[in-house]
Structures are given as structure tokens and as C-alpha cells.
């Protein structure tokens, strides 16, 4: 028969596993015996105090977890502040397993230790957003860095590009037009790689096309490619890059139309006229 002295002796030895076992196996007996109740409450108070000190001993933390299970199963009754201290201590001790630590920390999100863990978790993992179909569709968002800056930029690298884009949209009004499209997104590398040298292969994965026109009714198949050239393309380095890009498009049986202003006063309307002429030539 268990008595309070057995509990106090185990408590002195910090034999948490045996103590948890006693609470589990003697639920009804403890409820009926005031001395056993007192010994049980004393044990819990000691464990909570150690938890508040954020004890990280693995055996102790494991038994804190067992204590929460006993509480959930109504074998013991923890006060709210005791439950908080225990869950926070487990979260702190499990920080190397961030997902597990988060599951404990989120029970008490206003606790300072919990806040730190939750913040760390959201920086590493996306935050789930509630939605009307959350049982079937998962929606998440990243967490903004408190020291972050607005580093977004326009899709266009120059005003001339935005002018040309508008002209393309007018000519190909039922098509989809995208600027700065990666070559690897519109050309099957494996089909042409054997005809490229190593420099050209490296270039393939670093380069983009200024504009691509896609057929929306044919699985977004690209049908036109345009480059908007400038004086920048007169440098030796850029000429080599242009040559490689031309070769890649030629090998993929695709026309690449290069457009360049000879007069700075060329307008958006003139761009549009040239694009219409190119379209008529190919249809």
C-alpha cells in the first residue's frame, strides 16, 4: 500500500518516473486520502518550480510531459499557472525540435518564452492562415522580418520596356505577354543541351528573354519572343551573350525578334506598328 512517506522519499531522490507512476496507478486512492493528496500536491509544486527555472534535464522534461497527460486524463488537476509553467518549460527544452517546441509554446502565446519560440518558428516555417476550406486546403504566409525593407521592384528594367510591353498587349490582346522570362521556363534544355558548349549551358540557366507571348488556349505555349536592344548591346561582352541567346533560340526552332530604337523619339505607337507588321509576316 502506498503512503505519503513513499512519495516524499521519491521526491527527495527526484525519482520523477516513479512518482508519475504512483499518480497514474493510485488515482482513486489519492483522492480519498488527504495525506496522499498533500504529498501529491507538494510533488507537483516542486516539479512546477523546477519547470519555472526552465530545467532542461531530459528525464525531468520527459516526466513533465507525462504530467500534462495525467492532467488531461484527470488523474491530477493542475492549476492554470502550473500548466503554463510546465508547457513553457517543455517548449524551451525542445527548442532543437522547433515544430514540437512550437506546439507547446502556442498554448500560452503571451508568455515571453513562448513568444520567442513562436517568433523563431514563424521565421523558419510559414504561418497557417484560416480559410473557409481549411480542412481541404492549406493556406500559409511567411512572417515579415521586423528589420526588413521594401525591396520589391518593377517587372521592367527601363521605361522603354514598359512602353514596349503596352504595345505588345495591344497587338496580342487575346494572348498573355510576360516580361523577363527565364530561358529555362520556355525552352526544353534537355532537347538542345548536346548542341551547346559548357559556356552556353551555363548561360542558358542565367539568361532571360525580354518578352514572351503565350497562347492561353494551348496550355500557355510560347509563340513569340522579343528582345528590346539598346546601345548596351554594342559592348563586346553583350554581343557574345546575344550570340549565345540567338543560337539557343535557333536550336529550339524559335524566332527571336530584336527591336532597337535608331531614334530616341520613337514612340509607343511606332513600337505597336512594328509589332503588328511582324505578326502579319508570321500568320
Residues 164 and 268 in one domain: yes
* 254, part of any domain: yes
Note whether 185 and 136 are same-domain residues: no
Considering the domain architecture, whether residues 25 and 123 belong to the same structural domain is answered as: no
Same structural domain, 87 and 107: no
Smallest CA-to-CA distance from 49 within 12, 89, 105, 80 is with 89
- One digit per residue, the tens of pLDDT, for the chain of length 283 reads 788 999 999 999 999 999 999 999 998 898 888 999 999 999 999 999 999 999 899 999 999 999 999 999 999 999 999 999 999 999 999 999 999 999 999 999 999 999 999 989 988 888 888 889 988 999 988 888 888 899 999 999 888 999 999 999 999 999 999 999 999 999 999 999 999 999 999 999 999 999 999 999 889 999 999 999 988 888 999 999 999 999 999 999 999 999 998 888 888 999 999 999 999 988 7
Q: Is residue 27 part of a domain?
A: yes
Looking at the structure, tell me whether residues 16 and 111 fall in a common domain.
no
Claim to verify: residue 262 and residue 174 sit in the same structural domain: yes
Would residue 149 count as lying in a domain? no
pTM, to two decimals: 0.64
Q: How far is CA 84 from CA 26, 87, 204, 230, in A?
A: 25, 5, 56, 65
Question: Does 154 fall in a domain?
Answer: no
Answer yes or no: is 151 within a domain. no
Q: Are residues 163 and 265 in the same domain?
A: yes
Are residues 85 and 106 located together in one domain of the fold? no
For residue 16, give its domain range. 1-93
- 63 in any annotated domain: yes
Looking at the structure of the chain, the number of domains it has is: 3
Amino acid at each position: 500500500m502506498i503512503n505519503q512517506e513513499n512519495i516524499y522519499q521519491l521526491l527527495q531522490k527526484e525519482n520523477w518516473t516513479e512518482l508519475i507512476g504512483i499518480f497514474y496507478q493510485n488515482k482513486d486512492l489519492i483522492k480519498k486520502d488527504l495525506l496522499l493528496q498533500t504529498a501529491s500536491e507538494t510533488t507537483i509544486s516542486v516539479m512546477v518550480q523546477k519547470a519555472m527555472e526552465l530545467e532542461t534535464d531530459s528525464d525531468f522534461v520527459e516526466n513533465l510531459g507525462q504530467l500534462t497527460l495525467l492532467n488531461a486524463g484527470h488523474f491530477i488537476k493542475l492549476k492554470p499557472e502550473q500548466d503554463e509553467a510546465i508547457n513553457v518549460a517543455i517548449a524551451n527544452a525542445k527548442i532543437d525540435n522547433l515544430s514540437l517546441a512550437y506546439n507547446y509554446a502556442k498554448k500560452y502565446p503571451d508568455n515571453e518564452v513562448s513568444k520567442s519560440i513562436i517568433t523563431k518558428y514563424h521565421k523558419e516555417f510559414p504561418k497557417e492562415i484560416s480559410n473557409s476550406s481549411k480542412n481541404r486546403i492549406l493556406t500559409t504566409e511567411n512572417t515579415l522580418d521586423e528589420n526588413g525593407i521594401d525591396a520589391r521592384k518593377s517587372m521592367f528594367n527601363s521605361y522603354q520596356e514598359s512602353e514596349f510591353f503596352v504595345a505588345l498587349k495591344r497587338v496580342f490582346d487575346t494572348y498573355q505577354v510576360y516580361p523577363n522570362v527565364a530561358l529555362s521556363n520556355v525552352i526544353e534544355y534537355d532537347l538542345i543541351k548536346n548542341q551547346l558548349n559548357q559556356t552556353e549551358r551555363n548561360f542558358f540557366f542565367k539568361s532571360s528573354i525580354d518578352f514572351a507571348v503565350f497562347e492561353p488556349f494551348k496550355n500557355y505555349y510560347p509563340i513569340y519572343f522579343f528582345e528590346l536592344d539598346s546601345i548596351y548591346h554594342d559592348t563586346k561582352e553583350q554581343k557574345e551573350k546575344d550570340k549565345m541567346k540567338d543560337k539557343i533560340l535557333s536550336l529550339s526552332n524559335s524566332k527571336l525578334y530584336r527591336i532597337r530604337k535608331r531614334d530616341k523619339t520613337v514612340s509607343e505607337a511606332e513600337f505597336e506598328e512594328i509589332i503588328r507588321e511582324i505578326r502579319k509576316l508570321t500568320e
